[in-house]
Chain A
């Protein structure tokens, strides 16, 4: 019955959990704009480098960002496919609701007593 398409449920929960934190959303926004090192990211926040590293790891485990080594520094980049997955889930929920609203509207139109006069 359950159509196995896209990521597993634990993966999806990791995505949503990763996005549940304001700092992590902010980090994600920054690396979507451009790839940058963890120390460059840390410079933007009032928190220690290890704390920022921890947030980056949560995002990485959720697959929302990846790391690549450039000489001595590791740069963080966004993983657009995974970001799209999170958005798609809610987009599909939106379709469900649009369907409901359309069905309610059709039902009301059908019941409208003065429809013929309009």
Chain B
């Protein structure tokens, strides 16, 4: 499994996920810099994301929506804070209206990614997510998570089976 560790700091509202990918650092970077790639992994299970606007440059604002199983849409947006290609980036993520304007009442989640090449074909990434309130986390998790959880588990199992078959 690519996930090496998950650390949760309950009181500081921080979660750190460390993962290792079998790809050079530039390819992992492209998963976030290229909107077509980004939308294939950003949405929660069962809620694929579509990026209407995205550019990984400081100050840029991304706009995306996630499509739910019943055809509903939930909008989100990013404010790109820091970019040091291909080493790190920091974005603030928030729920948004249909124009991509952030809904300030639910607050922002700050996501930081640090990419380190382990060797020319392996990249380690540390994702640090800091959220402002438990309410925000709850809202995020409520979104389709009932069906999504089961789906995610299924996908992880499928992936494990694939990996097992490939070895």
Q: In the complex, A108 Cα to B127 Cα: how many Å?
A: 17
17 sample A-B contacts, Cβ–Cβ < 8 Å, listed by A number: A9-B139, A13-B135, A20-B11, A20-B12, A93-B15, A95-B152, A97-B6, A99-B156, A102-B155, A103-B41, A104-B2, A104-B19, A105-B21, A107-B41, A108-B21, A111-B27, A112-B23
Q: In the complex, A94 Cα to B19 Cα: how many Å?
A: 13
Which residues of B, 1-55, contact A by the 8 Å Cβ criterion?
2-3, 6, 8, 10-13, 15, 17, 19, 21-23, 27-28, 31, 37, 40-42, 44-45
Quick check: A94 and B141 within 8 Å, CB to CB?
A: no
CB of A90 closer than 8 Å to a CB of B: yes
List, in ascending order, chain B residues with CB within 8 A of A12's CB. 134-135, 138
Chain A binding surface SS class: helix
List, in ascending order, chain B residues with CB within 8 A of A25's CB. 11
Q: In the complex, A114 Cα to B134 Cα: how many Å?
A: 44
Given the known A-B contacts A92-B141, A94-B8, A95-B149, are A105 and B2 also in contact in the complex, defined by CB atoms under 8 Å? Answer: yes
CB of A16 closer than 8 Å to a CB of B: yes
Which residues of A, 57-72, contact B by the 8 Å Cβ criterion?
none
List, in ascending order, chain A residues with CB within 8 A of B74's CB. 1
Interface on A for B, CB 8 Å cutoff?
A: 1-3, 5, 9, 12-13, 15-16, 19-21, 25, 86-87, 89-90, 92-109, 111-112, 118
Given the known A-B contacts A1-B143, A99-B45, A100-B42, are A93 and B37 also in contact in the complex, defined by CB atoms under 8 Å? Answer: no
Taking a contact as CB atoms closer than 8 A, the residue among B12, B23, B44, B166 that contacts A96 in the complex is B44
List, in ascending order, chain B residues with CB within 8 A of A105's CB. 2, 19, 21-22, 159
CB of B57 closer than 8 Å to a CB of A: no
Q: For this complex, into which size category does the number of interface residues on chain B fall?
A: 35 or more
Task: Please give the distance in Å from B154's CB to the nearest CB on chain A.
Answer: 10
Chain B's closest residue to A1 (CB) is: B72
The listed residue with most B CB atoms (<10 A of its CB), out of A19, A98, A99, A101, is A101
CB of B145 closer than 8 Å to a CB of A: yes
Given the known A-B contacts A13-B134, A16-B11, are A108 and B23 also in contact in the complex, defined by CB atoms under 8 Å? Answer: yes
Quick check: B134 and A102 within 8 Å, CB to CB?
A: no
Q: In the complex, A3 Cα to B144 Cα: how many Å?
A: 8
Chain B's closest residue to A107 (CB) is: B40
